[in-house]
Structure 1
Amino acid sequence: MTQELGPLARELSFPYYEDALPAHDRFHAKRVRDVSIRLANECEGTVDRDVLSAAAWLHDIGRPRERRGEIEDHGEWAAAEASARLAAESVPSDRIEAIGHCLRSHSIRTSSPEPATLEAKLLFDADKLDAVGARGLVRLACIVGERSGRTGGKYAVIDDTSALEMEPSDGPDVSLLREWAKERLDALYTPPGRQLGTARWDFMEEFFVQFSAELGVEGNA
């Protein structure tokens, strides 16, 4: 291997993100990489930062394929794809295995395996933290947009439908953003991840207070 693992994974990952939508693009991967290293620096225990960085760059390379219905599990697919690409670059098998575990276990879906290594837990936490806070709110709104209007689905109403004097929508409303963020915060593994999550959640609470204050106008239309 002639290139450091993190930069190599970054280079390998970029072509896979060319068709990605904003919530799971290379910029998301960069944010996850940066936060995961930040958490590693604040975490007790030995962390293989090269493995962690590589896994962060590669964790969502299967998202475009999953969105198009070509694969069912982007984490499992990413692990297999990344393993082949890294092996071709003469990356040691133990590091490939460690990265593969991070990729398989980074998703919050119930079918994903539990993160068993510190690197996998840090990747999981960093990925979930990108759905909390100011950037997290924007990203969650992007995800709602991506999932709205699919075949058989309805567009989400990003409002507080309980406060509207009109027939409520049976689709998701703004409370979905709060639910998704809280679900991810409750799933965090590491102390520094939970600490950062609390700070970002405090901002989200302020946002939802302001959101409620801006609802409606006096008088009838």
Structure 2
Amino acid sequence: MIEKEAVWRERCRTLAHERAEKEVRAALHLQPEEPIPFNYRWEHVQRVVQVALWLAERTGADREIVEAAAWLHDIRKGEPNHDKIGAVEAGALLQETDFPPEKIAGVVDAIDRHAGLTRAPGAPPLEPLETAVLWDADKLTKLGVSMIAYQLSTREFDGASLAERRQEMQKFLRTVLSKTVESMNTAPARHLAQVRYRAMASFLDEWESEDKL
């Protein structure tokens, strides 16, 4: 017998997809009938869910809180204080579903505190654990070779040469993403962040060596 999917999961996933599509259509000024060339936000949210559940298995975090928070963490992306207002909307949505009422506050807290690429040096891990896991999962999706591919596809690099693009990525890796790795809350996230950071550095180093021929 196939178990019926929980209403809350379907509602969360549907809203996340709708908001991701709305965001990219607004950013690219697309008409309703025009196809979306690439929906980064939707790709990102799905990856955060995947990584968050992976971390939950390894840390003992509550899977339902972590998954709901991961689906909904960016539903107000692009708006001021998207973490704060997104948390409020997420809580209201879950109250209308079959999501365990006693766990809604945990989802709201995780979304409310997920923003930012780094935390203060030496800061203790975020608590509760579910909030820490969402923060880590969100940031882990910013690390890895796939993110180099994405970043190089953005309008940020319009007009830049290949060498200039590589140099900017190397600078971002050293000045920002190195601190992201140090900011991880959980041991599994810290290990994976280090692996992905080294992969990015190796890729960029190889690219630089080609430029020196």
* TM-score calculated relative to the size of structure 1: 0.73
* Cross-structure match for 2:73: 59
How well do the aligned residues superpose, as a CA RMSD in angstroms?
Answer: 2.9
Q: Is the 8 A contact 2:74 2:83 kept in 1?
A: yes
Counterpart among 76, 84, 89 of residue 81 in structure 1: 89
Deviates more, 1:17-26 or 1:206-215: 17-26
CA displacement 1:51-84 (0-9 Å, x = unmatched): 1011111111111xx2xxxx31111111111112
CA displacement 1:136-183 (0-9 Å, x = unmatched): 2233445xx35x39xxxxx6846555x9xxxxxxxx823343133223
Q: Is the 8 A contact 1:39 1:192 kept in 2?
A: yes
Counterpart among 189, 197, 202 of residue 201 in structure 1: 197
1:29 paired to 2:45: yes
Q: CA deviation at 1:115?
A: 3.6
* Cross-structure match for 1:124: 135
* Cross-structure match for 1:133: 144
1:87/1:20 Cα in 2 relative to 1: closer, same or farther (>3 Å)?
A: same
Counterpart among 149, 168, 173 of residue 168 in structure 2: 173
Q: What is the count of residue pairs matched by the alignment?
A: 189
Cα distance in 1, alignment partners of residues 207 and 58 from structure 2: 33
Hey, which of these two has a bigger chunk of helix by percent? 2
Deviates more, 1:120-129 or 1:178-187: 178-187
* Cross-structure match for 1:192: 188
* Cross-structure match for 1:97: 105
* Cross-structure match for 2:17: 14
1:156/1:122 Cα in 2 relative to 1: closer, same or farther (>3 Å)?
A: farther
1:198/1:75 Cα in 2 relative to 1: closer, same or farther (>3 Å)?
A: same
1:83/1:209 Cα in 2 relative to 1: closer, same or farther (>3 Å)?
A: same
1:214 paired to 2:210: yes
Report the secondary structure of 2:22's partner residue.
coil
CA displacement 1:9-57 (0-9 Å, x = unmatched): 21232211112346851221111111111122222xx321011011111
Q: Is the 8 A contact 2:110 2:131 kept in 1?
A: yes
Letter of the aligned partner of 1:119 in structure 2? E
1:122/1:80 Cα in 2 relative to 1: closer, same or farther (>3 Å)?
A: same
Which runs of no fewer than 5 residues in structure 1 stay unpaired?
150-154, 164-171
Q: Is the 8 A contact 1:52 1:123 kept in 2?
A: yes
Q: CA deviation at 1:89?
A: 2.2
Letter of the aligned partner of 1:28 in structure 2? H
Cα distance in 1, alignment partners of residues 99 and 49 from structure 2: 19
Q: CA deviation at 1:118?
A: 0.8
Cα distance in 2, alignment partners of residues 40 and 74 from structure 1: 24
Q: CA deviation at 1:93?
A: 3.6
Report the secondary structure of 2:211's partner residue.
coil
Cα distance in 1, alignment partners of residues 107 and 49 from structure 2: 13
* Cross-structure match for 1:107: 115
Q: CA deviation at 1:109?
A: 6.0
Q: How high is the sequence identity, in percent, across the aligned residues? A: 24
Counterpart among 31, 38, 57 of residue 41 in structure 1: 57
Q: CA deviation at 1:207?
A: 0.7
Cα distance in 1, alignment partners of residues 151 and 172 from structure 2: 6
Q: CA deviation at 1:125?
A: 0.7
